[in-house]
Amino acid sequence: MPFLHQSLLICYLIFGSVKPVSLNKESSAARHPLHLSSTELNYNPASSSLEISCRIFTDDFEDLLVKNYKVKADLSSAARHKEMEQLVGKYMASHLRIAVNGKVLQLNYLGFENDKEAVIIYLESAKVTGLRKMETTSTILYDLFDDQTNIFHITYNGKRKSSKLTYPENKLLSTF
In the predicted structure, residue 84 carries a pLDDT above the cut 80: yes
Identify the pLDDT of residue 17: 40
Q: Are 141 and 65 in contact (CB under 8 A)?
A: no
**CA triplet 95, 89, 150: central angle to 5 degrees?**
40
Residue range 121-125: average pLDDT? Answer: 98
**One-letter amino acid for residue 30 of the chain:** A
- Distance (Å, rounded) from C-alpha 22 to C-alpha 26? 9
In the predicted structure, residue 165 carries a pLDDT above the cut 50: yes
Identify the pLDDT of residue 33: 81
Identify the pLDDT of residue 116: 85
Q: Report the chain's mean pLDDT, rounded to a whole number.
A: 87
Model pTM above 0.85: no
Query: Helices 81-95 and 58-69 meet at what angle, rounded to 10?
Result: 80
**One-letter amino acid for residue 86 of the chain:** Q
